[in-house]
Chains A and B, each alone.
Chain A
């Protein structure tokens, strides 16, 4: 196997709730290769989201390390981490989390506002991203004028517009009917296959998990 894109070593996350400690992640080690479509399954409360958040640099572990493309994200400070996220990760959430006052294209453009790209370059990238998710004709629509599946595909376009190596998705089809879910999963699949993206997706749905190239299970904070 080539150099893994994500290397997790002895990662633990413990929440302190007064007297009680809740162990969300218990000493996890895991390698994820480039261009892998990893699906993460497990019962509710098993720590799937927590793991995903740490890999994506929006949460910090209690101990252990998490290297993404040889950068230990647990060591970055707040502002370095923000930059890192902007350049290296794309997020997709269960609720689509688009900004309601912005059109599809403007939502997709948001992460690019932090880059040095010219207006024209931004527009090109937005157009490419929307085309990849099959929504070129909806670019001027506001989120409320889109179906749930279309909203989620806009969110995918936003996640990939900065061309990050890694895309993380937390139950991206959780709010969708099976037809829309199928569309979204198809898009993710093609991103891995055609663009070589590494995708980590949390899901409860075995059918969704089947779209991935590898499945792992979490149980009470441990890999099983």
Chain B
């Protein structure tokens, strides 16, 4: 693939500078995170690349309430981080292992992953159920829920995603992720993530999301509503999985039919909730 139209590769040192460069470049300018998507699918009219990895935004820090991940941390840095490993029984690393291969994860950044917002992204459904927030910089910094961001029309405009916050978890917090794909390395035919908070054996709160339906991942409020007040028995799990199959909107694309995806969401929710139930039994 030729990228010979690119005439400038700029390496700003502050978000202010990056934003100015992008505004000056207009339509012909593009931010680069890890560059995995940009290098592969660069539109012919993009002539200026602005690298965000020189902004020093790759640290991962834990505060009392959340783990703050800089936008240019690579997916493997997130996977290997000890604070991240403490979130809901290590579910983030478990999911990350299913994203491409280590070769990709050593370059691809968490920021680029959330901004490119692929409908089959494995990262997005899990971060939605973990209630992740993001900080955007467009001259001012603002923080919002990841779900609110995708629901809003403007999405990113020219903003720089500077960090992602994942709440720290405590006793009773559990999460699981399931990806269906033809091979371990392929992208998802469908994926889903479940979070539950359990007190005295009963679920008090639930968040469930599915991606690759084939649309971008969203939360599934009707499915979530079936859990609070319930213990995670086989019967409850079966019923919740059926609600997922009957209510989640799926469609055909070249990877799978909508009908097949309905079976996948049923099996995915079931497998996530069974995994959590097993952890509860094992007292982990």
A and B associate = no
Using a CB–CB distance below 8 Å, which chain A residues touch chain B? none
Using a CB–CB distance below 8 Å, which chain B residues touch chain A? none
